[in-house]
Amino acid sequence: MTSAADSHPALARIAHRPWPIPSSNWLWRQTWHDLLFAHWPVPVAAVRSLVPEWLTVQACEGSSWVGLVPFRMTDVTLRYVPALPVVSRFPEMNLRLYVERDGKPGIWFISLDAARRSAVITARVLAHLPYFFSRMSVQAEGESVAYSSLRTGSAVEFEGTYAPAGPVREAQPGSLEHFLTERYCLYTQDRRGRRLRLNIHHRPWPLQTAEAAFVRNRVAQPQGITLPDTAPLLHFTRRLDVIGWGFERI
């Protein structure tokens, strides 16, 4: 008998992946809601020092890109473990760069802010990711989302509203939005310097163009990235179901 965990909706489509899905069993799942992609072009040289030398900082249309991604998560749990409301749902916001190793494009996180302290501790210890505890709020206002985040003891802060502004579509291979969104792994390294890749899987991103108004956006600058004084490229996704595996050594 096949369980709900074995028939996860993320596996309904796999042909779009740039490399085969891992042969081992997936280990965890989560669902992302009300997600905004805000992207700014920056020179590769401006962010090269923020990424380990064993990763290539990728460029598209002549620039590297910095992504700021606020959203909220539900159903955050291991494969056969029921999701508990107290610990399995919370807002998260990440600041990311786009990198590649061995022909596999992925994500390098500059930081991840989350409103669940247990998730922050677990991710720091077990996943070697730069998570920080922040006081966060997400409020739906019709189609719009009002989002705020203030990292404890830090100048890192975000407040704004955003909303979809177009029909749902999938990014076309070769396009900038495909480059920025269709990535199926993340990279990190542990305290001993061991290089790690974590594979994820989901359906192609159901993207919409977006509009946003940022009241405060002090996320990149305190962490060593100067954003250009231009409007960001914006995309929105209402929901995406995601599964993932354990880390593999590189």
Task: Encode the chain (250 residues) as per-residue pLDDT tens digits.
Answer: 334 445 799 999 999 999 999 999 999 999 999 999 999 999 999 999 999 999 999 999 999 999 999 999 999 999 988 887 777 899 999 999 999 999 999 999 999 999 999 899 999 998 999 999 999 999 998 999 999 999 999 999 999 999 999 999 999 999 999 999 999 999 999 999 999 999 999 999 999 999 999 999 999 999 999 999 999 999 999 999 999 999 999 9
Domains of the chain: 23-249 (2.40.400.10)
Rounded alpha-carbon distances, angstroms, from residue 227 to 35, 39, 150, 248: 20, 10, 19, 33
Alpha carbons 126 and 146: distance in angstroms, whole number:
31
Give the pLDDT score at 145: 98
Name the 3-class secondary structure at 23. Answer: coil
Give the pLDDT score at 247: 95
Give the pLDDT score at 1: 33
Which DSSP helix (H) or strand (E) runs through 125? helix 117-126
Asked if 155 contacts 143 with a C-beta cutoff of 8 angstroms, the reply is no
Residue bearing tokens 């190793």: 101
Give the contacts of 226 (CB within 8 A, at least 6 positions apart). 42, 46, 220
| DSSP-assigned states of every residue in 146-206 | EEEEEETTSS-EEEEEEEE-S--BPPPTTSHHHHHH---EEEEE-TT--EEEEEEE-SPP-
**60: which strand partners?**
63
Q: What values do phi and psi take at 209, rounded to 5?
A: -60, 160
pLDDT 10s digits, 191-245: 999 999 999 999 999 999 999 999 999 999 999 999 999 999 999 999 999 999 9
Q: Indicate the pairing of strand 64-78 with strand 208-218.
A: unpaired
Candidates 155, 53, 59, 147; CA nearest to 111 is 155
